[in-house]
Chains A and B, each alone.
Chain A
Amino acid sequence: MAESGCHTVGFCDQYVTVNSYDPESVNLVDFLCCDLQAGTDAPPVAIYDLAIVGKKRMLSLRQGDRQLYFGDCRFELAYTLINEIIHQCIADNRTGFAIHAGAIGLEEGAVLLPGKSGSGKSTLTAWLVARGCNYLTDELVVLAGNDHRIHPFTRPFSLKASSSAVLSSFLSYARQEVVAGASGFMLPHRLVNGTFSAATPPLSLIIFPEYKEGTATRITKLTAALGCARLMECYVNARNLQGHGFSRLAELTRRTPVYQLTYGSFVGLHEQLAESFPPLFRRKTR
């Protein structure tokens, strides 16, 4: 086990360096960042220092003079660090549309699951990955190029504590395999599906998930205009693009089918997805 580490990792050609000063910190950075791009010789946009300090072995995350986290909760620290990395990698990103979304890959293309926090996108993404879909991300993608390839920010699943009951309906895992805190937990995606291949597939379908406990599953086609309006609510780097990328985003939703999925449980969901999107869901999922 490494005594210390220096990870330079990132996303869409923006990188940060995370220095860690003890084996536990090295492990945590490995856990969070193992699927991110390894850095180049270019200088990082930010440098973080992660350490366990004092007799009480408190966790400390700093960026220069800024103390970003100091406490005893690994989950809170991990959550803070991964969000810092996302922010740094997206803040000046001009390569494409950064969308707050989960995403999965299938043989025939990729499905984007955009949504605000609490919409159930991470849980739905985990469920689809558990059924054989290739994990891309549960948080953020950049859509780039003329064919709108999905460049995923691939991290462990980050779920709210309230999701654990739903998750346990289709997945079992040991508590020591996750990084957990009072408000949530992080779960390695390889525990959900051991088959993983890093990919940047073209976008085939957009589904806006909405979890509403107790409601029947409903899949509704959205018009391109409504799809574009909804996508703009999840669009995080608008200010970096000319005209906020409005026209290009409209073009994307004209070319890509957009649906709303309202669901209250996973019972029968696969059948409904297979019925609505047969080329995408029938063959690959199990």
Chain B
Amino acid sequence: MEYSQKFVVNPAFKVERFDNEILLYAVSSTTGVYLNETAYLVWEMCTQGHSVGEILTLLEEAYPRQQTAIPGDAVAAIESLVDSGALIAANG
């Protein structure tokens, strides 16, 4: 995955925010997506227009003790959100 890549949220998905989690639901495809805390943060940063590289940097600054795990977790979260249709490549 290119670090300069940006993603936008799919407007077909309705968003329900809970304390540290999000549920997404697309009525048209009856698809529900549960976002854990990591995926929630990734989702929020995508909505703010950050690229993959920027998201990784921001997460590593926020969680310095988990620097080694963050790239894998964050990229996996993005890929999962793209696979479910909840995120769309901005220039895709």
Which residues of A pack against B, CB within 8 Å? Answer: 223-226, 228-229, 232-233, 238-239, 243-244, 246-247, 250, 254
Contacts and interface: CB of A to CB of B under 8 A. Distances in A.
A65 to B, nearest CB: 32
Contact of A232 (B18, B19, B25): B25
A229 B30 contact: no
A225 B30 contact: no
B21 interface: yes
A229 B27 contact: no
Nearest to A251: B16
- Tell me whether chain B's interface is mostly helix, strand or loop, or mixed: strand
B63 interface: no
Nearest to A230: B34
Contacts of A233: 32
Interface string B1-39: 000000000000010101101110101001010110000
Contacts of A238: 30
Interface residues of B, number: 13
A273 to B, nearest CB: 26
Contacts of B34: 225-226, 229
The 3 A-B pairs at the shortest CB distance, nearest first, are namely A225-B21, A225-B18, A229-B34
14 contacts: A224-B21, A225-B18, A225-B22, A225-B34, A226-B34, A229-B23, A229-B32, A232-B25, A243-B14, A246-B23, A246-B27, A247-B16, A250-B18, A250-B23
B21 A226 contact: yes
B18 A246 contact: no
A228 B35 CA distance: 12
Contacts of A223: 18-19, 21
